[in-house]
Chains A and B, each alone.
Chain A
Amino acid sequence: MNFKKSMLLSALLAATALGGAAHAQDSEKPYRFVMVSHIGSNDPNMNWLTTSLKEFEEKYPNVKTEYISTNNYSVQEHVRLLEQAIATNPDGIAVPIVSSDAFEGPLRKAIDAGIPVVAFNIPDGRPEGERIPYLTYVGGDEYLTGKKLGEYALAKAEAGEIPKPTHVVCASHDSAHQGLKARCAGMKDAMEKAGAKLDELFIGAEPATARNTLQSFLQANPDTNYIFTVAGWSSPWAWGVANEMKLDPDVDDKGMTILTVDEGPVSIEGVKAGHVLATNSQGFWLQGYAPMEWLYWNKKFGYAPQSDILTGPIIINKDNADQWATQVRGVFGDKAYDEQNTW
Chain B
Amino acid sequence: MGLSAAKPLIRRHAEIGIFLIGAVLIVIFASTSEGRWANLYNIGTIMQMTATLGLMSLGVALVIGTGEIDISVGSTFGMGALTYLWLAAHVDPSIAALAAIVVGAAIGFFNGLLVTWTRTPSLIITLGTLMIFRGIAIALTEGFSFSIPYAARKGWSYFLLGGDVFLGFNTALYWLIAVLVVLMVMLKAMPFGNRLLAVGGSVESAHSRGVRVERIKLSAFVLCGLLAGFAGTLEAGKLGFADGSMGRLMELQAIASCVLGGCLLAGGRISLPGALMGAFVLSSIQSYLVVTGVQPQWFVLILGVIVVLAAYGDKSLRQWALRK
Contacts and interface: CB of A to CB of B under 8 A. Distances in A.
Given A75-B245, A99-B147, A41 B240 contact: no
A83 B241 contact: no
17 contacts: A41-B295, A67-B295, A68-B293, A72-B249, A76-B239, A76-B246, A79-B239, A84-B287, A87-B41, A89-B36, A89-B39, A99-B147, A101-B149, A102-B240, A104-B240, A105-B240, A177-B143
Interface in A80-111: 80-81, 83-89, 99-102, 104-105, 108
Contacts, number: 96
A176 B290 CA distance: 33
Nearest to A70: B296
Nearest to A68: B290
A213 interface: no
A74 interface: yes
B190 interface: no
Given A76-B245, A101-B147, A101-B240, 15 more contacts: A46-B296, A68-B290, A71-B299, A71-B300, A73-B245, A75-B245, A79-B241, A86-B41, A87-B42, A87-B45, A99-B147, A100-B150, A101-B148, A105-B238, A105-B240
A41 B297 contact: yes
A67 B296 contact: yes
B243 A104 contact: no
Nearest to B250: A76
In this complex, the member of A40, A76, A101 whose beta carbon has the largest number of chain B beta carbons within 10 angstroms is A76
Contacts of B147: 99, 101-102
B144 interface: yes
A292 to B, nearest CB: 15
Given A66-B293, A102-B239, A108-B150, A175 B45 contact: no
Contacts of B297: 41, 71
B78 to A, nearest CB: 9
A41 B290 CA distance: 15
Interface in B35-56: 36, 39, 41-42, 45, 49
A71 B296 contact: yes
B309 interface: no
B77 to A, nearest CB: 10
Contacts of A105: 150, 238, 240
B42 A75 contact: no
B281 to A, nearest CB: 16
Nearest to A71: B296
A99 B249 contact: no
Interface of A: 40-41, 46, 66-76, 79-81, 83-89, 99-102, 104-105, 108, 130, 174-177
B143 A75 contact: no
Interface in B190-221: none
Contacts of B39: 87, 89
Contacts of B148: 101
B11 interface: no
Nearest to B294: A68
Contact of A87 (B36, B143, B293, B299): B36
A69 B41 CA distance: 20
Given A41-B295, A41-B297, A104-B150, A75 B287 contact: no
B290 A81 contact: yes
B145 interface: yes
A88 B39 CA distance: 8
A46 B151 CA distance: 33
B246 A74 contact: yes
A67 B238 CA distance: 25
A84 B248 contact: no
B143 A176 contact: yes
A76 B243 CA distance: 9
Interface string B277-296: 00000000011001101011
A70 B239 CA distance: 18
Contacts of B145: 75, 99
B15 interface: no
B68 interface: no
A281 B42 CA distance: 38
A75 B239 contact: yes
Nearest to B41: A87
A75 B241 contact: yes
Nearest to B165: A109
B235 interface: yes
Given A40-B296, A74-B248, A176 B144 contact: yes
A79 B243 CA distance: 13
Contacts of B239: 75-76, 79, 101-102
Nearest to B39: A87
A84 B145 CA distance: 24
A47 B148 CA distance: 34
A88 B239 CA distance: 20
Contacts of B299: 70-71
Contacts of A80: 45, 49, 286
Contacts of B235: 76
Contacts of B248: 72, 74
Nearest to A84: B290
B166 to A, nearest CB: 15
Contact of B245 (A68, A74, A89, A175): A74
B108 to A, nearest CB: 22
Interface string B144-162: 1101111100000000000
Contacts of A72: 248-249, 300
A99 B241 contact: yes
Contacts of B296: 40-41, 46, 67-71
Contacts of A99: 145, 147, 241
Nearest to A175: B143
B243 A74 contact: yes
Contacts of A89: 36, 39, 41
A66 B239 CA distance: 24
Contacts of B246: 74, 76
